[in-house]
Structure 1
Amino acid sequence: MTIMDEDRDERDGTAEDEDAPRLPMLLEAVLSVGTDLELRATLQHIVDSATELTGARYGALGVVDPERRRITELLTSGMTDEERQRAGRLPDGHTGLLGVLIQDPQPLRLDDLTADPRSSGVPAGHPEMHSFLGVPIRVHTEVFGNLYLTEKPGGFTEEDLSLLRVLASQAGIAIGNARLYETARQRERWIEGAAAVTTALLTGASAENALMTVAEQARILSGASAGVVLQPTTEGGMEIVAASTTDDPGDLVGTTIAPGSAVLVQLLGGEPVFIEDSANDPRMTTHVRTRFGPSMMLPLQSGGKLIGTLALPRRRGDAPYTAVDRLLASQFASQAALALVLADARHDRERLAVFEDRDRIARDLHDLVVQRLFATEMMLESTRRRAGESSDDSALLGRAVDELDSTIQEVRTTIFALQQPPADAPTSFRGKVLRETGGAAVLLGFQPSVHFSGAVDTLVDEETAGRLLGALRGALAAAHRRPGIGAITVEVSAGDGGGAHLRVTDDGTPPTVVTWPT
């Protein structure tokens, strides 16, 4: 029977007279459900309208996950906060009449649900209910959810069912519009987030800050409990190198996925991994998994190069990720990976420009400054010889020659330092000596003067170099402990026999001289 059926007996005619005033209510409900573009507000408006339209005491709208075929969200009408608390956790839709509508999305009307053998799983604190009416809500051809109504005085009629089916049909259209709007807004947020990450990475962020930027932006956009970046280890596993959480992430950084883990093959292969419950998934092996529930693990790769993995775990009990969430997060990860590659290339170009500039300065110092200083030294030495050994001018010229010789040594040391990569550990003996004196300069407050004599890089073997560096380290530490030291001279020489000699002199009162070997 429908509300438009005119072939009714006297009892049905009475019902038609009673239902006639509800037609304007139906029209108003149909018009009002599409007035709000916010999805949650639209859903609440639908369940409130359905409850009012049919005269039911309680109403609910269960949102169904089409992949898992269970209720992910339940909006209610007519229940007080106290009744909600007594009812406890919401049903998942796997059992009872709610599960029947999910498995078989067809309208269902019952005079007494407690008498139906399919009714089960009602929480102990749930309000008592008897009459029941349920209809599916379809968005296009997909079942979005179900409307459930209970406790109408006198029970639900066929007219109630017809009214509710009309409302559900219009609700499907309104929900479709709201979902499109929500998806558009969500996509806009992810695009803005990806643009912010790209801008931040291309403005000169360090490698550590770049990974943290990616992790933090992804966490905020996805509504995750944490955003972490993992990178492959030399042992064949993966390690968390950056973590962003709402609390202290200290126990996350450094966590490793050991080689042999089931999930590792997919991650190292650049495949995304989607997990329903990290705490109970056998593929997860880390000690931090127990605190997390739904999770996405997305590859950070660009041009076939795997940079790492972006993991976005939510807390246990949080809503699972939807298909739209997965798609947008995967697109973000691809964009972030490209930005990381571009930022790394930009950093390499800047380093190359610095190296080229340092190499040019070193060549200029060698070709111009050192040659002129050496020529001046030769001229002064020739003048000193002509002046005679006993002349006062000869003594002054001798000191000038010594100063020039010392200056040439300093410039040559500077040239060598300029030719070393600033961020790399030195491999030559000369570079290691400069590293020791450079480190000591931080504590001393000044840079020790370093002089090399002979082919120290080729004549000093590794064992001798280690002992000499130890002696140098001790001499510099001892000088730091003495008060009033304002200058230190370090002299390193090597002879043709392979022996090395060290002399460290300070300007203390009296001056202290340390030699090695003693």
Structure 2
Amino acid sequence: MTEEPAPIVFPDAPRSQLERTIEELVDRAQAVLRTQGRLRSLLQATRTVVDDLELEGVLRRLVEAAARLVDAEYGAVAVIGADARLQRFVEMDDRGAHAWGRTLLGDGMAGSVVTAGPMRVERLADYLPDSDLPDELRDIAFLAVPIRVRGEQFGQLFLTAHSGQRFTEEDEELAGALVATASIAIENANLFEEARRRERWTAAIAETTAALLANDTGTDGLDVIADSVASLVDARLVCIVESVGDGSELRIRVARGDGAETIVGNVYPAEGSLVGRALESGAAAYTDGAESGAIADWQPAFGPTYAVPLTASDTRLGVLTITRPVGGPGLSDTELEMAHEFAVQASVALEVARGRIDRRRLELAEDRARIARDLHDHVIQRLFATGLSLGALASAVPDQMRPQLDEQVDSIDAVIRQIRTAVFALNSDTGGNAGTLRHRLLDVIFEHTPTLDSTPRLSFHGPIDVMVDAEVSDDVLAVVRESLSNIARHAQANASSVEVSVADGWLTVNIDDDGRGPGDSDRRSGLANLDDRARQRGGTYAIAPRDGGGTHVEWRVPLGEYA
């Protein structure tokens, strides 16, 4: 019987060691493959980030690439300003699935998680033990990587892991490498954005200067400045404020933005205000909106606000204020620099434009004065001489022709009175007479002319502006205004006239029209008011049909010692 050969038996210990060695090699190979894959992902993410020149696009690409690179559930970039305030917040998507991100990171941790290097947090609740975090956020792993541009803190990249997962040291290194590369793209995007911003401001300065210098409307041009600034900056409100009186009060002259129409013209004390500080120092002033309370009940809530003086030739023309929304970012250094340059250039242009307007007004006043002088010295004198000549002929003409001659003399007198009224109007427009009764009556006539078929004839006799005080002047204006309103509403008149005279201590106002006459008037309340005004001053008021058709109104009161 043949003996069977013994089976070959390998020792167990060496085989186990070989298998373990092979497994380790396989694991290391797989780790190398994973690392190669992640390095490829890093290179791809780097190319993605640097492909954009817009800062918003660069930041969004950075967030999305970083989230893919470390398999994060959520990512965001918070741009922190020099004042440690949030200036910009960019999330990985706009779907709103992580609405808590802006609240927690943008408003809560962005300013506090500013570190010199990356930071990994295993549980968000451990890092923020005093925060009122929702339950679903307490166990989330968190990774923060600072973004530095040219050695200065620019912002922070925030990443959160999927539920139950944690970030590794490798994740931290990859995110840091991506941010380091992205910082170059961010710097380029910043330079590009700054160049475009400067270009817009420079163009606006040129357009505003041209608009101010071409201003022929007589307006002061402040609205042009406010409109230009409002179109340049993302502001909630842009105002131009000026000093009132002795400088203790300020008035909002021009406003553009939210609620602008409700605050224009409002006056508030200069003491303790941002504009007051800018006016006093002659330099730009700033407030974040939280350091000072409201200075008036009408003041809207405001965020970061800048006040830039408008100064030319050491003259304060006003203060330009730029207000951002509550909690919003402040202006960048470039925007502040350009706003100051804009204010300087606009102030010079505004001063030049105002000088040109003043010069034109002076030229117009000189022309009006010359015309008024010529009318008085030549036209009126010739008419007066003609009237005297006609009057002298009255004794030499037949009796049947005298009424016609007298009528012509009266017509010449009426023309002289009308020319004198025109002369007064020309002189009034040159300034200095705005508060006189004559000038105020002219304003009333111009005010009611659009409602009448023709401009009422206005004439004056006697020392009206000398004898009539302010209270009586108010009554005269009321009488003329009410009478012209009645003519417009009821008379159906083609022509009307107003005559104001002072003689023998009495002031008389005669108003005539060629309409349908007083009739049974239904306007008794207005007429009774005019009658009361006359009686209170010891005078009379009468309304009656006019010879030849129409209505004649006479309002008569004593003046001075006769009252």
Q: Give the TM-score taking structure 2 as reference length.
A: 0.74
Shift of 1:114: 5.8
Rounded Cα–Cα distance in structure 1 between residues aligned with 2:125 and 2:80: 28
Could you tell me which amino acid in structure 1 is paired with residue 423 of structure 2? I
Residues 223 and 254 in structure 2, CA contact (< 8 A), matched pair in contact too: yes
Aligned residues: 498
Q: Deviations over 1:267-320 (max 9, x none)?
A: 43244232223xx43254233545322222322332222222222222223333
Paired residue for 1:404, among 412, 420, 434? 412
Instruction: Provide the residue aligned with 1:6 in structure 2.
Output: none
Instruction: Provide the residue aligned with 2:9 in structure 1.
Output: none
Q: Secondary structure at the match of 1:287?
A: coil
Rounded Cα–Cα distance in structure 2 between residues aligned with 1:12 and 1:101: 36
Instruction: Provide the residue aligned with 1:449 in structure 2.
Output: 457
Aligned CA distance change for structure 1 residues 230 and 504 (closer, same or farther; 3 Å): same
Instruction: Provide the residue aligned with 1:4 in structure 2.
Output: none
Shift of 1:159: 5.2
Rounded Cα–Cα distance in structure 2 between residues aligned with 1:425 and 1:169: 73
Worse-matched range after superposition: 218-227 or 12-21:
12-21
Rounded Cα–Cα distance in structure 2 between residues aligned with 1:184 and 1:306: 31
Aligned CA distance change for structure 1 residues 121 and 320 (closer, same or farther; 3 Å): farther
Residues 74 and 161 in structure 2, CA contact (< 8 A), matched pair in contact too: no
Paired residue for 1:222, among 224, 229, 233? 233
Please show how residues 150-229 of structure 1 align to structure 2 within 5 Å: 150-151=160-161, 160-204=171-215, 210-229=221-240
Aligned CA distance change for structure 1 residues 287 and 115 (closer, same or farther; 3 Å): closer
Q: Secondary structure at the match of 1:315?
A: coil
Residues 307 and 320 in structure 2, CA contact (< 8 A), matched pair in contact too: yes
Rounded Cα–Cα distance in structure 1 between residues aligned with 2:469 and 2:111: 80
Rounded Cα–Cα distance in structure 2 between residues aligned with 1:256 and 1:339: 26
Instruction: Provide the residue aligned with 1:335 in structure 2.
Output: 345
Rounded Cα–Cα distance in structure 2 between residues aligned with 1:100 and 1:430: 71
Shift of 1:266: 0.1
Residues 297 and 311 in structure 1, CA contact (< 8 A), matched pair in contact too: yes
Residues 261 and 283 in structure 1, CA contact (< 8 A), matched pair in contact too: no
Paired residue for 1:85, among 96, 99, 108? 99
Q: Secondary structure at the match of 1:36?
A: coil
Paired residue for 2:254, among 221, 242, 266? 242
Paired residue for 2:554, among 511, 514, 518? 514
Worse-matched range after superposition: 30-39 or 324-333:
324-333
Instruction: Provide the residue aligned with 1:318 in structure 2.
Output: 328
Instruction: Provide the residue aligned with 2:295 in structure 1.
Output: 285
Shift of 1:330: 2.9
Q: Secondary structure at the match of 1:46?
A: helix
Paired residue for 1:105, among 98, 116, 125? 116
Query: Sequence identity, in percent?
Result: 30
Instruction: Provide the residue aligned with 1:3 in structure 2.
Output: none
Residues 274 and 296 in structure 1, CA contact (< 8 A), matched pair in contact too: yes
Shift of 1:416: 1.7
Rounded Cα–Cα distance in structure 1 between residues aligned with 2:91 and 2:463: 86
Q: Secondary structure at the match of 1:293?
A: coil
Instruction: Provide the residue aligned with 1:373 in structure 2.
Output: 383
Rounded Cα–Cα distance in structure 2 between residues aligned with 1:100 and 1:480: 73
Shift of 1:477: 5.6
Rounded Cα–Cα distance in structure 2 between residues aligned with 1:466 and 1:88: 63
Aligned CA distance change for structure 1 residues 253 and 393 (closer, same or farther; 3 Å): same
Residues 86 and 329 in structure 2, CA contact (< 8 A), matched pair in contact too: no
Residues 453 and 493 in structure 1, CA contact (< 8 A), matched pair in contact too: yes
Q: 5+ unaligned residues in a row in structure 2: which ranges?
A: 1-23, 518-544, 547-551, 559-563
Q: 5+ unaligned residues in a row in structure 1: which ranges?
A: 1-8
Rounded Cα–Cα distance in structure 1 between residues aligned with 2:375 and 2:94: 84
Q: Deviations over 1:64-108 (max 9, x none)?
A: 42423355444444x89464025561325875xx76751x31234
Residues 453 and 493 in structure 2, CA contact (< 8 A), matched pair in contact too: no
Q: Secondary structure at the match of 1:354?
A: helix
2:288 paired with 1:276: yes
Shift of 1:20: 3.1
Aligned CA distance change for structure 1 residues 12 and 329 (closer, same or farther; 3 Å): farther
Q: Give the TM-score taking structure 1 as reference length.
A: 0.80
Instruction: Provide the residue aligned with 2:271 in structure 1.
Output: 260
Residues 64 and 143 in structure 1, CA contact (< 8 A), matched pair in contact too: no
Q: Secondary structure at the match of 2:304?
A: strand
Shift of 1:130: 6.2
Please show how residues 289-300 of structure 1 align to structure 2 within 5 Å: 289=299, 291-300=301-310
Rounded Cα–Cα distance in structure 2 between residues aligned with 1:481 and 1:154: 85
Q: Deviations over 1:100-125 (max 9, x none)?
A: 751x3123456x35696677758426
Rounded Cα–Cα distance in structure 2 between residues aligned with 1:432 and 1:46: 70
Could you tell me which amino acid in structure 2 is paired with residue 376 of structure 1? T
